[in-house]
Structure 1
Amino acid sequence: MDVLAITTGQDLIHIIEKGRPAVFTRFYTSYFQKLLLASDKYVKDVYVAEEVVQDVFLKIWEQPNRILAVRSIKSYLYKAVINASINYLNRQRNIGQHHLKLIAELSDDCVNDLEEENEIILLLHREIERLPVQCRKIFKLSRFEHLKYKEIAAELGISEKTVENHIGHALKTLRNRFMNDKQLHKKGKSFLFNSYLF
């Protein structure tokens, strides 16, 4: 069964009741990375985010009736993951009650925007992995670990000019790939350039 056809709570309940764990696992896998990114925005810990997402799916598997009336399983999953993430923060840091209102105010449009943004981030990371080894390593140290050129040069035993050249090559390559990608609309390109490819 095509997991894209699973759009409502009843669709997913049907899979569970039919005892088709392989299909459920494929459905889980299709959403896992995007939901992980959604949770990580709140908890700021990828391991905690993994547990949050896994727990949401485990509860669905063990208590499928809770999604019986769900008309959009995508919206439900995002709201459930974000709600669980906020609950985690409440337990850890006792944040204010106004944060709890976020989940109630999360519209379907917000969910779609969030999923779209996460898809773009995942696409960017896949493109980064396609860069040459040394270039990729230097780019990650710069953009993800926030090291200065001088620090990268010292760590890798190369010149700052070499670091600068690799960063320039990475940015040019990534920009060219995304500018020529017909699947990315203007909003997606704007997000990428403002967030990563500066």
Structure 2
Amino acid sequence: MPRTTDFTDSQLLEMIRDGDVAAFKLLYLRYFSALCKSGFRKIQDDKVVEEIVQDIFVDLWRKRQELEAGQEIGAFLNALLRNKILHEWRAQQIRQRHVEMFSQLNTTVGDESVSEQFYANEIQERLNAAICNLSPQCRQAFELSRYEHLSYREISERMAISVKTVEKHIGKALKILKLELREYHITVAMLISIWLQM
């Protein structure tokens, strides 16, 4: 394998745009440590920083054909690093707010079930608000499934639409609701579980 000093950034960029895996590995070796050091100055967690930098290179490879010729790759990678660190900061702040809120509830009331119920109520309120914002047909299909427990076939007959359209509406609803509840780290499986319990 060639050394990292055998090519300029511009040459590596051109090869990466053409799908050259070896060039990508050279760029990775050239910038990985420097990006980790830069990230660690902002987030003092080696594991988190390394995961962020790994994600940056994954994104770079996936979007390699969108890279512009002559682009300053070092500046581009550092910009991606800053954006991902900002996202991680926001996620940490949200998690910390939840921890502090539950801690205060437990200290005041001394009952973990209270904080759990508070959290569940908050999620349910967000879920209900998100359902209200769905498009009329999407919302109707979702509510017939959720409230009346109708099958897709029964919903299609009630709404005079195809079963495939029902599947599309409910799939879209779940996708939107998951997006609305992303700060709670709700997966589709968890969302369905919450939905069935309501």
| Short-chain TM bin | 0.3 to 0.5
What is the TM-score with the length of structure 2 in the denominator? 0.41
What is the TM-score with the length of structure 1 in the denominator? 0.41
Bigger RCO of structures 1 and 2 (CA < 8 A, at least 6 apart): 1
